[in-house]
Structure 1
C-alpha cells in the first residue's frame, strides 16, 4: 500500500521550505522504494528553490543520498530488498546510441521512476534530479540505486551521489589525470576540493588550488593540494605558470562555471594541455576566446557532466578507496543535521562556511 512519510517541499519559486506529508506509492515495474538514511545539502537543491532548474513546482528536494531498499517492483534485478544503496541521477537505458557504443557513462536517455509521489491532496511532486531524498522514503527507478557495502559511514559515502563524484570524476574520468602530471583547480568549494582529491588519487604530483577566499585555499591544502593561490591577491594564470616551470599545468579544472575563470583555465594550461569545465554556468553566460589561440594552444577543452561517471562502476570503486584511506570523504561532512535544519544549511553553504551539511534522516 502507498505510504505517507515526511518530506521537504518547496511549492513555488523562493517560497519557504516546508516539512509536509508526502505519499510514496508502491513501486511499479522497474522501480524501488528506498528508506533514506542520509542526504547531503547540495547547491543544486538551492537552484531548485530559486527556480534555476525549472518551474515544475512543487519540488521534493534532496538528491545526494544513501538509503536501504525497502520494496522493489516487477522485473527489478539491479537491487534487492535490504541492500544499502547510494542514489544516483544517471539510470542508464542500455539502448541509446551512447550505450550501444559501449559508453553508458554518456547515456542520452537516463530515466527516473514512472510513477509520481504526491502531496496528500494528490498534487504531484517533482523530485529533485529524479530522486527527492529530503524525505523518509522516496521512489526511484531501480537503476538509480547502486549497492554498496554497509560497514562504512552512510553520510560520507552518500556524497558520491552528486558533488563529490562530479569533482573526483572530472579529474579521473574526464581529464584522465596521469601519474606525475600537474593539475590546477580553480574554485575550491566542495566540487573543487573533490577534484583535488581525484587528482591526488590519480597520482598527480603538483596540485594547485586556486580561489579568492584564503580560507578555502587553506582547506584545499589540508585536503590534498600541494600549492595554494589566492587569486584575489595575485594573477592566477601567472601563479600557475610559475609553479609549473613557466609552462602551465597539464590539466586545469574550472569548478566555478564563469567565463572569466574559464578564460583563466584556458591560459593557465600548458601547450596541448587539457581544460575541464565542471562548474555549472548560469544560463545565458557567454565565452569569448580568440579562435587562433584555441587552435594554436592545441590540447582539449572538455565539459564534465556528473564527472562522466558510471555509478555502477565508480561508486563501489570510490567507496573502496575511502576504506583504504586514499579518498577522504569524512572531511567533506562538515555537520550532521535534521530535516528542520535545511534552511540554515543553505545559508551556511551560500556563505562558503561548509563543504557539506548532511541530513541524517534515519540513524
Structure 2
C-alpha cells in the first residue's frame, strides 16, 4: 500500500509498504481523507529535522472500517469513522485501537470529518469560558480559527470580532457570522477592538495564529479581569509577554491545547455530534485537495499559502 513519510527537511515521499493487520481490539481502516496539519508543516520546514528512518505521519484521518481484530465490540466492517491517531494517517490503510474511532453519519463526507483538529477546536472552545452575552475577539481565522468562531457562537457569544491579515480569511469570518472583521495589515487591531468595545476590551480574546504579534495584540485587547486563550501552536523559538499588563489586568490565561487522549476523544465526539446535526460547518474551511502521490506539493502550498488557501486535504 502507499504511505507518505518525512525523510528530511522539506522532503516528504510516498513509499510502498506492507498493509497492516488489526491486532486484538483494533480496527483496520481504509483511509479516505487526511488533513494536513500546521504542526506537521513546522516539522517539514525544520532545517534541523533529521531521522535515520522515514517518519510516517498524519493524524487528521477518516475512512471506512474494512476489518476488525479479535475482541472488538463497537465497530464492524463498513462503518464510517473518524480517527484519533499518531500512527501515520497519510496511508491507504491504518490499524488503530477501536477506542480511538468515532462513527460518522452516512451524510457526512470524509473530508469534512477531520476528527483531531475539530476535537482540538471544540476543546479550546470549551476551555475558553465564554459566557452568554460575551464579546469575543478571535485573532486568526484559518481552518482552526473558523471552527473556534463557530464554537464561540454556540457557547453564547453575542458579538464576535475577527482579526486576520489575509482577505480570504476575513471573508471566511464574514461567512461564518463574525460581527466585525479587522484587517491587521491596515489597522492597529488592538486599538480597533478597544474602539469597538468603548475602551473596555473584549471579554475573551482567543489567539489562534502561533505568532508573537498576535499574543501582543491579545494582551492589549482583552478587558480587565478578562480571559486570554492561547490556542495558536507556537513553534521555533520562545515568545515574550508583557507580564506587567497581565498582572495589572488580573487576566485568566488558558493554554488551550490538549495532550490527553481522553480529552481529545471528548472533543472529537462533541465535534462529530455538531457536524452530524448541521451545527458545525467544515466545507467552507477546506480549499485545496491533493492525491497522496502529490503530498509534497500539498506541503509546499501549505507553506506558501497561495491566494485562497485555507486548508489542504490529502485524498485516497
Output the TM-score relative to the length of structure 1.
0.78
Instruction: Decide which moves more: 40-49 or 306-315.
Output: 306-315
Matches of 1:13 and 1:349, distance apart in 2? 15
Identify if the C-alpha distance between structure 1 residues 214 and 50 changes in structure 2 by more than 3 Å, giving closer, same or farther.
Answer: closer
Superposed counterparts of 1:226-305, under 5 Å: 226-291=179-244, 293-305=245-257
Q: Match for 1:65 among 52, 61, 65?
A: 61
> Is the Cα contact below 8 Å between 1:167 and 1:307 reproduced in 2?
no
Which of 42, 46, 52 lines up with 2:41 in the alignment? 46
Which of 123, 126, 129 is equivalent to 1:169? 123
1:170 and 1:307 in contact (8 A); partners too: no
CA–CA separation in structure 2 for the residues paired with 1:243 and 1:345: 38
1:357 aligns with 2:312: yes
* 1:213 Cα offset (Å): 2.3
Q: 2:10 aligns with which of 14, 17, 23?
A: 14
Equivalent pair of 1:146/1:311 in contact (CA under 8 Å): no
Does the 8 Å CA contact 2:119/2:266 hold for their aligned counterparts? no
Which of 276, 280, 285 does residue 332 from structure 1 map onto?
A: 285
Unaligned runs of 5+ in 1: 90-129
Larger displacement relative to structure 2 (295-304 or 214-223)? 214-223
Which of 97, 118, 134 does residue 141 from structure 1 map onto?
Answer: 97
Pick closer, same or farther for the CA change 1:47–1:75 going to 2, 3 Å: farther
RMSD value, Cα: 2.5
> Which residue does 2:294 correspond to in 1?
341
Q: Per-residue deviation at 1:54?
A: 6.5
Cα distance in structure 2, aligned partners of 1:52 and 1:43: 16
TM-score if structure 2 supplies the norm length?
0.88
Q: How far apart are the structure 2 equivalents of 1:306 and 1:341?
A: 31
Q: Which one is further off, 221-230 or 20-29?
A: 20-29
**Mean CA deviation greater in 312-321 or 220-229:** 312-321
Distance in 2 separating the partners of 1:304 and 1:165: 12
Alpha carbons of 1:316 and 1:294: their partners in 2 closer, same or farther (altered >3 Å)?
closer
The whole-number CA distance in structure 2 between the counterparts of 1:59 and 1:290 is: 39
Aligned pairs, number: 312
State the alpha-carbon separation in 1 of the partners of residues 214 and 265 from structure 2: 33
Q: Which residue of structure 1 lines up, in the alignment, with residue 135 of structure 2?
A: 182
